[in-house]
């Protein structure tokens, strides 16, 4: 049987692979045959992910992506060990909710650093000699809030808006080299990150957000399937897009 999302023979790096969407992407890419490099800060959490990957070929690579200056050396070292990458998924991210009257730049800076700057630095690192091979696909995990506003998330939305703008520009820049660049904009997914929404919203406010999803709140695998689609030949004619995977949130 032909599977257009087959990833056998490809090496994919996934950041944020210790939990949530990143973990879901790593598991699903492994099921589709990819060799997966899983990246996050904590070794023990990455080992938990590796144990869930059902025998898929997996390389654990702990790294703190807030160290932007070291990302190129880190990726170079990974590729020296596992060979060139066919792509990466930048799923690592921070979501800190603050109303504008509470917002301070020092609280916003870590989000911009991890959500946007780290993704940009990973792309630069990916482009190093001997670090990538065709077919090549870059996928950033953005957010539906880059397209639809809500209270208390202006800084987070700005960081994800930067990701989507970067996606379109890099798609133009890297197409001639055969590298596709896309982002995915999920709405509410059951992860540890969404569990912190009650820090800036009332219980009623959280429920209102949930109720806006026509198909209900998503699971990590729903976003993982979209990421694997974009990594695979099934998405080979797609670049420069921000794919909405939101259970009908934007339509509602």
Q: What is the mean pLDDT of residues 76-101?
A: 90
Give the per-residue pLDDT at 203: 78
Categorize the per-residue pLDDT at 240 as very low, low, confident or very high, splitting at 50, 70 and 90.
Answer: very high
Question: Does residue 200 register a pLDDT over 80?
Answer: no
pLDDT, residue 221, reads: 97
- Say if residue 101's pLDDT is above 80: no
Average pLDDT over residues 40-50: 98
pTM of the model: 0.93
132 pLDDT more than 60: yes
Answer yes or no: are the C-beta atoms of 40 and 16 closer than 8 Å. Answer: yes
The first and second tokens of residue 94, run together, are 């921070």
Q: Is 180 helix (H, G, I), strand (E, B) or coil?
A: strand
**pLDDT over 80 at 152, yes or no:** no
Q: What are phi and psi of 111, to 5 degrees?
A: -65, -45
Give the end-to-end CA distance of the chain in Å, rounded to a whole number: 37
CA distance 123 to 99: 32
Provide the pLDDT for residue 195. Answer: 54
Q: What is the rounded CA–CA span in Å between residue 175 and residue 232?
A: 16
- Residue 190 has a pLDDT of 86
CB-count burial class (<10 Å; 0-12, 13-18, 19+) for 44: exposed
> Is residue 83 within 8 Å of residue 60, measured between CB atoms?
no
In the chain, what are the domains? 11-245 (3.40.50.720)
How sure is the predictor about 196, in pLDDT bands with cuts at 50, 70 and 90?
low
What is residue 98's predicted lDDT score, i.e. its pLDDT? 65
* Distance separating alpha carbons of residues 224 and 127, to the nearest angstrom: 24
Please give the DSSP secondary-structure letter assigned to residue 9.
Answer: T
- For residue 203, what are the contacts with CB-CB under 8 A and spacing of at least 6? none
The span from the CA of 176 to the CA of 170, in Å, is: 11
Active site residues: 156
> What string of DSSP letters covers 86-141?
EEEEE---------GGG--HHHHHHHIIIIIIHHHHHHHHHTSTTSEEEEEEEEEE
Cis peptide before 135 (omega within 30 of 0): yes
Residue 103 banded pLDDT, cuts 50, 70, 90: low
Rounded average pLDDT over 210-221? 93
The pLDDT score that the predictor gives to residue 45 is: 98
- Indicate the SS3 state at residue 40: coil
């Amino acid at each position: 049987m032909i599977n257009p999302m087959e990833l056998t023979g490809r090496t994919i790096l996934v950041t944020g692979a210790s939990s949530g969407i990143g973990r879901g992407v790593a598991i699903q890419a492994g099921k589709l045959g990819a060799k997966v490099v899983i990246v996050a800060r904590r070794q023990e959490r990455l080992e938990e992910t590796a144990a869930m990957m059902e025998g898929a070929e997996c390389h654990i690579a702990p790294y703190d992506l807030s160290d932007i200056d070291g990302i190129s050396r880190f990726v170079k070292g990974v590729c020296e060990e596992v060979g060139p990458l066919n792509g990466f998924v930048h799923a690592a991210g921070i979501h800190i909710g603050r109303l504008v009257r509470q917002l301070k730049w020092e609280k916003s800076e870590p989000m911009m650093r991890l959500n946007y700057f780290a993704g940009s630095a990973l792309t630069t690192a990916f482009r190093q000699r001997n670090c990538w091979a065709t077919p090549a696909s870059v996928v950033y995990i953005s957010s539906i809030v880059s397209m639809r506003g809500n209270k208390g998330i202006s800084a987070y939305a700005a960081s994800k808006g930067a990701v989507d703008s970067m996606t379109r520009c890099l798609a133009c820049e890297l197409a001639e080299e055969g590298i596709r660049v896309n982002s995915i904009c999920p709405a509410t997914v059951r992860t540890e990150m969404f569990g912190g929404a009650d820090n800036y919203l009332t219980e009623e406010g959280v429920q209102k957000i949930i109720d806006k999803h026509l198909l209900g709140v998503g699971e990590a695998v729903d976003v993982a399937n979209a990421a694997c689609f974009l990594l695979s030949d099934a998405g080979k004619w797609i670049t420069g897009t921000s794919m909405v995977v939101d259970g009908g949130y934007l339509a509602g």
